Amino acid sequence: MMTKEINQENEGDGSHGPQKPALGLTGRKIIYDKDGKPCRACNTLLDFKMATGAKPKVSGTFPGFSTAYAKDEPPDVEQLGRSTWTFLHSVAASYPEEASISQQEDMKSFLNIFGKIYPCWFCAKDFTKYIGENQPKVKTQEDFGRWLCDAHNSVNKKLGKPQFDCNLWKKRWKDGWDEEEN
């Protein structure tokens, strides 16, 4: 089993609180948010769990450490869709709790541009239509996360997939599930 020595460092904030790990189990630097908490989107799940005190499941090797590139095919509509929704929901999870007017305008512009450049022209047209009929709600993180969940459920319905309970969007895309829910 691979083991890594965990370097610990005080973040230089002058506090004498618990030291934060500088490196995770994968050997990557731990990235912290402005509030001093490990950034979920910026760290591997293994490193995030280690830095937050959760018990990570560790195997002998770490995914993503190969120096050889896989000869993957270009993504099809399903892979592209899953990756895109993961990206969009992650954006919503990191969106400000209360967005400034400038941040709201930026997000609306992003969504409009996104609907024009998405690689699947049919999907792009459908997303643009959805935005036209359901103006993006971008005032708060909660509003945006729920609006995006509704947009995703609209697509799921068309594809005959189950609807996601939008009351759980933060657990799925921001905070994670409680241990007993896993």
Q: Which of 153, 133, 149 is nearest to 141 (CA)?
A: 149
Fold adopted by 77-175? Four Helix Bundle (Hemerythrin (Met), subunit A) (1.20.120)
Residue spans of the domains in the chain: they are: 1-57, 77-175
* One pLDDT digit (tens) per residue for the chain, 182 residues: 333 333 333 344 444 556 888 888 888 888 888 888 888 778 888 888 888 888 766 555 555 555 577 778 888 888 999 999 999 999 999 999 999 999 999 999 999 999 999 999 999 999 999 999 999 999 999 999 999 999 999 999 998 999 999 999 999 988 888 876 55
Contacts 24+ apart (CB under 8 A), 170-174: 170/93, 170/145, 172/89, 173/89, 173/90, 173/92, 173/93, 173/145, 174/40, 174/93, 174/145
pTM: 0.72
